[in-house]
């Protein structure tokens, strides 16, 4: 099985495991750092998108390992602030759902292994993820604490994705070497 085929299988499994973005409603009133940190862990859409951002950064390699997740985090913060100021974005939930599939596909497309392309896609999807959370944040939430918790947890999920991405590539490389020696 080729490297591209294996990456495609992994990416397809990630994308198919995604569910529509139903994790947004139901924030607790007065939510703070711990509530913000817990939120990305409570929805499959968040877990898949956030981890896949890290996998994608690792797939590109080099500076993208930090640039792709960093762009997502910065744009997520900007999207949240935009929502808190009353801004509007169309198709937020469908875009969040699509982000899981598109990011997974980008992990396997050779032409997408460009740090600039990765950064642009990550920032675009981060903007929508952040907007959704800013728009649905309770009015009496501790905004700074909640945002700090959310960003911290998201960065942790990106780091898990980077480690997973490196592990996948190492396993695929070993399997290809074993196939050549068999």
Q: Which two tokens stand for residue 121?
A: 């896609």
Residue 139 has pLDDT above 80, yes or no: no
If we measure between CA atoms, which residue out of 164, 148, 166, 167 comes closest to residue 40?
A: 148
In a domain, 93, yes or no: yes
Residue 81 lies in a domain: yes
Q: What percent of the chain has pLDDT over 90?
A: 47
- Rounded distance, CA 53 to CA 23, Å? 18
| Summary mean pLDDT of the chain | 83
Does 133 map to a domain?
yes
- What is the rounded distance in angstroms from the CA atom of residue 180 to the CA atom of residue 152? 42
Backbone angles phi, psi at 92, to 5 degrees: -65, -55
Domain carrying residue 77: 31-181
| Residues recorded for the chain | 182
Q: How many domains is the chain partitioned into structurally?
A: 1
Least confident of 16-25, 99-108, 160-169: 16-25
Residue 5 resides in a domain: no
What the block records as the tokens of 27 is 């924030």
Q: Would you say 5 and 174 are in contact if contact means Cβ atoms under 8 Å apart?
A: no
**What sections of the chain are H helices per DSSP?**
3-17, 33-38, 44-60, 64-84, 92-108, 115-135, 143-181
The pLDDT value recorded for residue 35 is 84
* Distance (Å, whole) CA 9 – CA 25: 32
Domain annotation covers residue 22: no
Evaluate the CA torsion angle 89, 90, 92, 96 in order and state its sign. Answer: negative
More confident residue, 21 or 58: 58
What confidence category does residue 46 fall into, taking pLDDT thresholds of 50, 70 and 90?
confident
- Round to whole Å and give the CA distance between 148 and 97: 24
Contact 15, 7 (CB under 8 A): no
User: pTM to 2 decimals?
Assistant: 0.80
23 found inside a domain: no
Contacts of 171 (CB under 8 A, 6+ apart): none
User: How does pLDDT run across 4-37, given as a tens digit for each residue?
Assistant: 555 555 555 554 454 444 444 444 556 789 888 8
pLDDT score of 79: 97
Please say whether the dihedral angle defined by the alpha carbons of residues 78, 20, 69 and 140, taken in this order, is positive or negative. Answer: positive
């Amino acid at each position: 099985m080729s490297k591209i085929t294996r990456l495609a299988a992994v990416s397809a499994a990630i994308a198919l495991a995604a569910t529509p973005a139903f994790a947004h409603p139901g924030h607790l009133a007065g939510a703070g750092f711990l509530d913000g940190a817990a939120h990305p862990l409570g929805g499959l859409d968040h877990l898949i998108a956030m981890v896949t951002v890290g996998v994608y950064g690792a797939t590109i390699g080099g500076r993208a390992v930090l640039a792709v997740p960093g762009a997502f985090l910065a744009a997520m913060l900007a999207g949240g602030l935009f929502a808190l100021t009353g801004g509007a974005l169309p198709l937020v939930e469908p875009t969040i759902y699509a982000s899981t599939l598109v990011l997974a596909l980008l992990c396997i497309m050779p032409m997408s292994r460009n740090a600039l392309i990765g950064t642009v896609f990550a920032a675009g999807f981060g903007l929508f993820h952040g907007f959704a959370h800013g728009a649905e944040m309770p009015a009496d939430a501790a905004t700074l604490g909640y945002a700090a918790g959310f960003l911290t947890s998201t960065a942790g999920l990106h780091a898990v994705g980077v480690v997973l991405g490196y592990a996948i590539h190492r396993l695929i490389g070993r399997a290809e070497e074993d196939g050549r020696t068999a």
